Amino acid sequence: MSMAKPVSRVVVAGAIAVLAVPMAATSSPQGQGDVALTRSALIRLDAEVARKRALELPPIGARAQLRRLQLEPGDLLSATSVRNRALQVKAGGGRVLAAKLKGQDFIPRGVDYDPVSGLLAIAAVSQVLLYAPATGKASVVAGEFDFANDVVFDGAGGLVIVDQGAETNDEMPLDGAVWRYDLATAEIAQIATNKELSNPKLVARDKKGVIHFIDGGSGDLVSPVFDVRWDVLYRIEGKKLNRVKAVWDDAGIQATAYDIDRTGWHWIINVGELVRIRGTKFQQPCLPPYPLLFATGLTVDNNGDALVLDGADVLTKTRTIRAIDSNCEVTLRTARKLKGSRGLTHVPDE
Question: What is the model's pLDDT at position 288?
Answer: 81
Q: How confident is the model at residue 239 (pLDDT cuts 50, 70, 90)?
A: confident
The string of pLDDT tens digits covering residues 150-166 is 999 999 999 999 999 88
Lowest-confidence pick of 1-15, 177-191, 222-236:
1-15
Question: What is the model's pLDDT at position 293?
Answer: 94
Lowest-confidence pick of 16-30, 38-52, 229-243, 263-277:
16-30
Question: What is the model's pLDDT at position 172?
Answer: 61
Averaged confidence pLDDT in the chain: 87
Domain edges within the chain = 7-346
C-alpha closest to that of 309 among 89, 113, 139: 89
Residue 136 or residue 102, greater confidence: 136
pLDDT at 294 over 80: yes
Residue 290 or residue 213, greater confidence: 213
Lowest-confidence pick of 13-27, 135-149, 207-221:
13-27
Domain 7-346, CATH among 2.120.10.30, 3.30.479.30, 2.40.50.100, 3.40.50.620: 2.120.10.30
Q: How confident is the model at residue 324 (pLDDT cuts 50, 70, 90)?
A: very high
Say what percent of the chain tops pLDDT 90: 69
For 141, phi and psi rounded to 5 degrees?
-65, 135
The string of pLDDT tens digits covering residues 65-98 is 899 999 999 999 999 999 999 999 998 778 999 9
Question: What is the model's pLDDT at position 170?
Answer: 53
Residue 167 or residue 142, greater confidence: 142
- Burial of 57 per CB tally in 10 Å (0-12, 13-18, 19+): middle
Question: What is the model's pLDDT at position 299?
Answer: 98
> In the sheet where 96-100 sits, what is the strand order?
96-100, 85-89, 76-80, 341-346
For 129-162, give the DSSP string. EEE-TTT-BEEE-SS--S-EEEEEE-SSSEEEEE
Task: Characterise 65 by phi-psi region: left (phi > 0), alpha (psi -120 to 50), beta (else).
Answer: beta
pLDDT at 56 over 80: yes
SS3 at position 36: helix
Quote the CA–CA distance of 252 and 180 in Å, as a whole number: 28
Say what percent of the chain tops pLDDT 70: 88
